[in-house]
A and B are shown apart, each in its own frame.
Chain A
Amino acid sequence: MHDEPVLSWKVAGLLLGVLLIVATALVKPLGVSTQYVVTDAIVLHGAAPGVAESNEYLSKYGEKQDWGIGYGWMLVLGMFVGGSLSAFVTRRFRSRNNPSMSSMWQTEFGSSSPRRMMHAFTGGILLLFGARLAGGCTSGHMISGISQLTIGSFIFGISIFASGIITARILYKRRLAS
């Protein structure tokens, strides 16, 4: 199939583990979700500096003189670039029939783009609300956190798969029944 991954889970997992070790040696373990807050803080600080500085949470991510872009933000930008580059090289860039949805979604929910976009957007809200409450996401909490044997990260990993599995089964109940 055209969207079959290029690397096996073994090779990709091994490379990701090595990258995590390199990042931990050079700077710190991998993490993503903080950068959503940093982006919000940068944007809001540009639009309404007083509001940004008075927000207890945003102000933690942008000191008085430094509401700018740092290492972690560049890492997330790099993920975008890296995803693009490898998709181009392996001829998988925009390889979907409909760029807004996977054929798996289309089979279950039809080809309405707005419907898929609403789910993708709502899912994003829940993802980052949860990640910020936990203090990290799949990369920072689960992969980096469990690798460091952090007890809270084991709890987070179990919780996300518990509710993720239940939610997926509700969404795809027709597919599962067939």
Chain B
Amino acid sequence: MKLVLGLLIGIAFGAILQLGGGSSYRKIMGSLLLKDMDIIKLILMAIAVGTVGIYALDLADMANLSIKPTYVVGIIIAGLIFGVGFAVAGYCPGTCVVAAGEGKTDAIATILGGLTGAMLFALVYPMLGGLMGITNYGEVTLASAFGINGIWIAVPFSAILFLLMFKVLKDRY
């Protein structure tokens, strides 16, 4: 049952990304070149909707949250490496799977590179694991840091994102 549910959620996820241009090399690179803001705005919209919904669920005690630990130094290094890969591939780990489904063969190369990169990480983990230990503040969120319920942050945060999407970010051609 869980497997079928996973497949169905994945199909919806893949279709939404494909229909929204999330699996398009041109749209992703347009965002990174700050010319075409659609993908950035798509992500901001998903977060603006998601954050309020998730913390509304949490009020009703119905959210299965999964908070990742905040290890500042390791995450900054990881993000900088990821960002280079993002621009060089023109895909991310999820959108390359969708793009491969659309018959884009370069996306298959990104998946294979991804499997290789994950394996490389597994091999060096005993050496790099320490990076995930230093400056580690644990599973901290803005809500837990301020000691208030998440919905009080989610609503104004979402409002800021709407302002960004509709008033600040503009396409530049």
Interfacial residues, chain A to chain B (CB-CB below 8 A): 3-33, 36-37, 39-40, 44, 55-58, 69-87, 90, 92-94, 96, 99-105, 116-117, 119-153, 155-169, 171-172, 175-176
Contacts and interface: CB of A to CB of B under 8 A. Distances in A.
Nearest to B73: A155
Given A127-B113, A130-B81, A90 B25 contact: no
A121 B113 CA distance: 4
7 contacts: A120-B89, A126-B88, A133-B75, A138-B95, A143-B47, A152-B75, A159-B83
Majority-rule SS of A interface residues: helix
Contact of B67 (A36, A100, A131, A150): A150
Contacts of A80: 10, 14, 97-98, 100-101
A94 B47 CA distance: 30
A57 B112 CA distance: 19
Given A27-B64, A32-B93, A151-B141, A82 B86 contact: no
A30 B13 contact: yes
B83 A124 contact: no
A148 B99 CA distance: 27
Contact of A104 (B21, B26, B65, B154): B26
